[in-house]
Structure 1
């Protein structure tokens, strides 16, 4: 499962997010502002962020995998299911 987030983690109630350890997370838009919070909360999951969104917000972290628009499309196609929160 691919979980797509576009808001900072503080926008969500963590106990309502059902994310399995092998699920992938993709941060878009303003979710990139709280990249460190996502890393802390979901350290067991593969974490991706759209490169252009990270750069636009002057955010970086070596623990997150930055991807291009093309790789974003491939990530969605390769995922059996996806959900946008």
Structure 2
């Protein structure tokens, strides 16, 4: 793989990660969905990068929930 191809792949991976976060936000507009579909259709690398980023996001979900629970204030009844 050439240096340019590696740089391009790094950009695609960063974009894929941003799409995962955006789509998980619950604030996606119809326009966002159209742009996302177009982005994924640009190449197999785009679609694969998104699939990989989504898998990482899913794998991290249990850890994120555990951190959130650990940071929640403790209610002490008196």
- Please indicate the TM-score interval, normalised by the length of the shorter structure: 0.3 to 0.5
What TM-score do you get using the length of structure 1 for normalisation? 0.30
Larger Rg, first or second structure (1 or 2): 2
Which structure dedicates a bigger proportion of its chain to strand? 1
Which structure dedicates a bigger proportion of its chain to helix? 2
What TM-score do you get using the length of structure 2 for normalisation? 0.32
